[in-house]
Structure 1
Amino acid sequence: MNMNDLARRVKEASIQLAGTGTERKNETLARIADALIKHQAEIIAANKEDLLRSEQEQLAEPLLKRLKFDEGKIQDVVDGIQSLIGLEDPVGKTMLATELDEGLELYRVTCPIGVIGMIFESRPDALVQISTLCLKSGNSVLLKGGSEARKTNRILADIIAEATGQTGIPESWLALLETREDVTAMLKMDKYIDLIIPRGSNEFVRYIMDHSRIPVMGHADGICHAYVAEDADLDMAVKLVNDSKTQYVSVCNALETLLVDERIAPEFLPKLKQELDKKQVELVGCSNTCKLIPVHPATEEDWKTEYLDYKLSIKIVSGLNEAIEHINTYGSGHTDSIITTDREKAARFMEYADSGNVMWNCSTRFSDGFRYGFGAEVGISTSKIHARGPVGLDGMIIYKYKVVGNGHIVEDYAKRTKQFTHKKINRSFPL
Structure 2
Amino acid sequence: MPRRRLPLVLIAAVLAATGCGGGTADDPDTISVAYHRYGNSTQVDALMQRVKQQYEQANPGKHVSLDPVVAPEGEYLSKLQLRMRSAKTAPDVLYEDSFTVNSDVAAGYLAPLDERLADWADWDHFIDTTKQAGRATDGRTYGIPLDTDTRGIWFNRDLFARAGLPADWAPDGWDDVLAAARRVKQRFPDVIGLDLPLGKAEGEAVTMQTVLMLLHGTETGSLHDGRWIAPNAGFTEAMRFLSTAVGEGLTQSRAQIADAQYDKKLRDDLTRQGKVAMRLDGSFASGQWESAGWRDWAETMSAAPMPTRDGGGTVSTSGGWTLAMSASGGKQDDAFEFLTIALSRDNVTEYALSSGNLPSREDSAADPRLTAANPLAGFWLGLLEGTHYRPTLPEYPKISEEIQQSVLDVAGGADPEQVSQRWTEQVRRIAGPDETRGG
**More strand as a share of residues:** 1
Measured against the shorter chain, the TM-score band is: under 0.3
Which structure has more RCO (C-alpha within 8 Å, separation ≥ 6)? 2
Q: Which structure has the greater CA radius of gyration?
A: 1
With structure 1 as the length reference, what TM-score do the two structures score?
0.25
Considering fraction of residues, name the structure with more helix. Answer: 2
TM score, norm. by length of structure 2: 0.25
